[in-house]
């Protein structure tokens, strides 16, 4: 496979962009080698600058649930762009997108639109602090909520451990307000609340974690989050940036049904454009400016082109689309399991609705420590074999294999054909 065009671009990029990329995982550090620069995408395929074609299992890390350049979304974007790119005043698309989100997720009464998942979680956290008048937040190791200072802390497991910053540049003061606990551990949660309950503004959790690979809540865990936060007067923030409108029409909430105080959304609801949201009952949301004292704003919030893309995408997410995601995910996961078993490679596949990931270890993964115990080098060999055969997986062992409704039978077959060689490469 010729990759000289991508390699040249990476050299150019490194001179003017740190690490050559605008989001670290794109740099292939988790798998070695150098990234492909994509020139265009349509349906389930990516095409790089050297003309190589790949079946896409990144789907822009979630948003491209209908496939790339979906005709209805493209038409909505063209139509919106022809009328102007950004007004800085209210516009109808914002209302329509908010209505669509509120209609899908029953407990929601109001949402505020923002431009990224990071902004959504950052703002939800500020609102929770403003609402409760408390400052500490509980998060779970292995859950990613964007690059918010207080939420980057992921190290320091154990009961009520005050984490050290996980990133340089995060002040201790921010990290000290973050209590990091192991996921799926109700005893650790209860102990943290017994010790610090009167200081805790919120527990934030991925609705069903996908950022350490797919690690769904064990039965009763989300309900325990709900019960303990209620008991201590803290808010429960369910981060559905990844799962929202993917796991079901109403995201993970639609499958499990535990009602949090606040939700955050992103990815699918922007259809590939920068649109995200946070929301909850009016009684909490009215604390936001201009009605309330918690400030939150954005020059491009509710951008007319982004909201048009999001609205067209959500309206395109029909029952048939969710049925197709099920079929495609199971075909690929079954193919991966068969190929890895035949090659003798330890593996476990875990699910959240139709969202799945493959761990390169043979025991159930219940938390971040379990996820890190997998064979990431075997994944690296597997990844590169798939790439050489024209299938682009996420370049990390800790990610969801994202599919879209545009993955037709031909695209799925191309993946299935590539899996046996990749599994043998992993076994070496
Ligand atoms: N929350 C979750 C669960 C995510 O998966 C992500 C991104 O992957 C974020 C928040 C941050 O979103 P963004 O990258 O749009 O800032």
Considering the domain architecture, whether residues 240 and 202 belong to the same structural domain is answered as yes
* CA 144–ligand 1 middle distance (angstroms): 7
Residue after which a domain boundary falls, among 295, 316, 337: 316
Q: What confidence tens digit (pLDDT) does each residue in 355-364 have?
A: 999 999 999 9
Measure the CA–CA gap between 120 and 205, rounded to whole angstroms.
Answer: 13
Query: Could you tell me the maximum CA-CA distance found in the chain, to the nearest angstrom?
Result: 61
pLDDT of residue 175: 79
Considering the domain architecture, whether residues 329 and 403 belong to the same structural domain is answered as yes
Catalytic positions are 144, 239, 267
Measure the CA–CA gap between 272 and 266, rounded to whole angstroms.
Answer: 10
E-strand stretches of 37-155: 38-42, 45-48, 53-56, 110-114, 136-140
State the average pLDDT over residues 186-208. 97
Whichever domain contains 297, its CATH number is 3.40.640.10
**In this prediction, what percent of the chain has a pLDDT beyond 70?**
97
pLDDT of residue 152: 81
| Phi, psi (rounded to 5 degrees) for 161 | -80, 125
Structure tokens at 424: 């043998």
End-to-end CA distance of the chain, in Å? Answer: 22
pLDDT of residue 343: 98
Whichever domain contains 334, its CATH number is 3.90.1150.10
* Cβ of 251 less than 6 Å from ligand 1: no
Buried b (16+ CB within 10 A) or exposed e, 6-22: bbebbeebeeeeeebbe
pLDDT of residue 157: 28
pLDDT of residue 203: 98
pLDDT band at 154 (very low <50, low <70, confident <90, very high): low
Higher pLDDT, 366 or 160: 366
Residue 339 host element (H or E):
helix 319-342
Considering the domain architecture, whether residues 176 and 259 belong to the same structural domain is answered as yes
Query: What residue numbers bound the domain in which 241 lies?
Result: 71-316
140 contacts 205 by C-beta, under 8 angstroms: yes
144 contacts 211 by C-beta, under 8 angstroms: yes
Q: Is 370 exposed, middle or buried (0-12, 13-18, 19+ CB in 10 A)?
A: buried
Considering the domain architecture, whether residues 266 and 135 belong to the same structural domain is answered as yes
Q: What confidence tens digit (pLDDT) does each residue in 9-63 have?
A: 999 999 999 999 999 999 999 999 999 999 999 999 999 999 999 999 999 999 9
Q: What confidence tens digit (pLDDT) does each residue in 304-324 have?
A: 999 999 999 999 999 999 999
* CA 304–ligand 1 middle distance (angstroms): 22
Considering the domain architecture, whether residues 208 and 93 belong to the same structural domain is answered as yes
Pocket test for ligand 1, best of 211, 260, 398 (most atoms within 8 A of CB): 211
Q: State the pairing for strand pair 178-181/136-140.
A: parallel
7 three-state secondary structure: helix
> DSSP letter string over 383-396?
HHHHHHTTEE--SS
pLDDT of residue 49: 98
Measure the CA–CA gap between 128 and 133, rounded to whole angstroms.
Answer: 8
The reply to whether ipTM tops 0.90 is yes
State the average pLDDT over residues 124-141. 97
Considering the domain architecture, whether residues 56 and 144 belong to the same structural domain is answered as no
210 contacts 242 by C-beta, under 8 angstroms: yes
| Phi, psi (rounded to 5 degrees) for 280 | 175, -160
* CA 1–ligand 1 middle distance (angstroms): 32
State the average pLDDT over residues 179-201. 97
- Cα–Cα separations (whole angstroms), residue 388 to 81, 289, 334: 37, 51, 21
Side-chain half-sphere exposure of 371, counting CA atoms within 13 A: 25
Measure the CA–CA gap between 57 and 404, rounded to whole angstroms.
Answer: 8
pLDDT band at 159 (very low <50, low <70, confident <90, very high): very low
199 contacts 134 by C-beta, under 8 angstroms: yes
User: What is the residue with the minimal CA distance to atom 12 of ligand 1?
Assistant: 117
**Number of neighbouring beta carbons within 10 Å of residue 193:** 21
Pocket test for ligand 1, best of 139, 267, 357 (most atoms within 8 A of CB): 267
Q: What confidence tens digit (pLDDT) does each residue in 101-128 have?
A: 999 999 999 999 999 999 999 999 999 9
Number of domains in the chain: 2
- pLDDT of 165 higher than 90: no
For residue 399, the 8-state DSSP code is: S
Considering the domain architecture, whether residues 108 and 251 belong to the same structural domain is answered as yes
E-strand stretches of 116-260: 136-140, 161-162, 178-181, 200-206, 235-239
Q: What confidence tens digit (pLDDT) does each residue in 227-253 have?
A: 999 999 999 999 999 999 999 999 999
**In this prediction, what percent of the chain has a pLDDT beyond 90?**
92
Buried b (16+ CB within 10 A) or exposed e, 311-338: bbbbebbeeebbebbeebbebbbebbbe
Residue after which a domain boundary falls, among 316, 351, 382: 316
195 contacts 160 by C-beta, under 8 angstroms: yes
- Model confidence, pTM: 0.96
The label of the residue with tokens 């067209």 reads: 312
Considering the domain architecture, whether residues 152 and 254 belong to the same structural domain is answered as yes
Considering the domain architecture, whether residues 336 and 354 belong to the same structural domain is answered as yes
Residue after which a domain boundary falls, among 316, 338, 355: 316
Considering the domain architecture, whether residues 114 and 223 belong to the same structural domain is answered as yes
Looking at every residue in the chain, the average pLDDT score rounds to 95
* Cβ of 140 less than 6 Å from ligand 1: no
Structure tokens at 241: 């940036």
Measure the CA–CA gap between 25 and 76, rounded to whole angstroms.
Answer: 30
* Cβ of 61 less than 6 Å from ligand 1: yes
* Cβ of 395 less than 6 Å from ligand 1: no
Considering the domain architecture, whether residues 77 and 171 belong to the same structural domain is answered as yes
* CA 79–ligand 1 middle distance (angstroms): 28
- pLDDT of 158 higher than 70: no
Considering the domain architecture, whether residues 343 and 231 belong to the same structural domain is answered as no
Nearest residue to 359 via CA among 330, 350, 395: 350
pLDDT of residue 168: 82
* Cβ of 208 less than 6 Å from ligand 1: no
Paired residues of 140 in beta bridges: 181
* Cβ of 399 less than 6 Å from ligand 1: no
């Amino acid at each position: 496979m010729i990759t000289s065009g991508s390699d040249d671009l990476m050299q150019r990029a490194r001179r003017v962009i740190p690490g050559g990329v605008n989001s670290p995982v794109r740099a292939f550090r988790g798998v070695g080698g150098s990234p492909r620069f994509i020139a265009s995408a349509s349906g389930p395929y990516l095409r790089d600058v050297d003309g190589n074609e790949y079946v896409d299992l990144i789907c822009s890390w979630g948003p491209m649930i209908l496939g790339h350049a979906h005709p209805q979304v493209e038409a909505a974007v063209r139509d919106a762009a022809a009328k102007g790119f950004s007004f800085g005043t209210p516009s109808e698309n914002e209302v329509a997108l908010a209505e669509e989100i509120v209609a899908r997720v029953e407990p929601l009464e109001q949402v505020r639109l923002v431009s990224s998942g990071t902004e959504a979680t950052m703002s939800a956290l500020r609102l929770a602090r403003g609402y409760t008048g408390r400052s500490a937040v509980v998060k779970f190791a292995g859950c990613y909520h964007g690059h918010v200072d207080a939420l980057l802390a992921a190290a320091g497991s154990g009961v009520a451990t005050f984490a050290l910053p996980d990133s340089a540049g995060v002040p201790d003061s921010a990290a000290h307000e973050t209590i990091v606990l192991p996921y799926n551990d109700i005893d650790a949660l209860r102990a943290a609340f017994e010790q610090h309950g009167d200081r805790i503004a919120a527990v934030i959790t991925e609705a069903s974690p996908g950022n350490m690979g797919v690690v769904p809540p064990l039965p009763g865990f989300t309900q325990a989050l709900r019960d303990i936060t209620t008991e201590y007067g803290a808010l429960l923030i369910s981060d559905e940036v990844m799962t929202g409108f993917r796991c079901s029409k109403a995201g993970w909430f639609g499958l499990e049904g535990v009602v949090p105080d606040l939700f955050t959304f992103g990815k699918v609801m922007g259809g590939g454009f920068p649109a995200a949201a946070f929301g909850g009952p009016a009684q909490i949301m009215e604390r936001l400016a201009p009605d309330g004292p918690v400030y939150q704003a954005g020059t491009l919030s509710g951008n007319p082109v982004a909201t048009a893309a999001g609205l067209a995408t959500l309206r395109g997410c029909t029952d048939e689309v969710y049925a197709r995601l099920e079929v495609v995910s199971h075909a690929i996961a079954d193919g991966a399991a068969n190929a890895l078993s035949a090659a003798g490679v330890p593996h476990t596949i875990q699910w959240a609705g139709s969202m799945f990931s493959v761990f390169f270890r043979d025991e159930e993964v219940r938390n971040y420590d379990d996820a890190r115990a997998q064979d990431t080098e075997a994944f690296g060999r597997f990844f590169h074999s798939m790439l050489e055969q024209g299938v682009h997986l996420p370049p990390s062992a800790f990610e969801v294999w994202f599919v879209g409704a545009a993955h037709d039978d031909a695209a799925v077959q191309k993946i299935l054909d590539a899996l046996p060689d990749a599994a043998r490469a992993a076994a070496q």
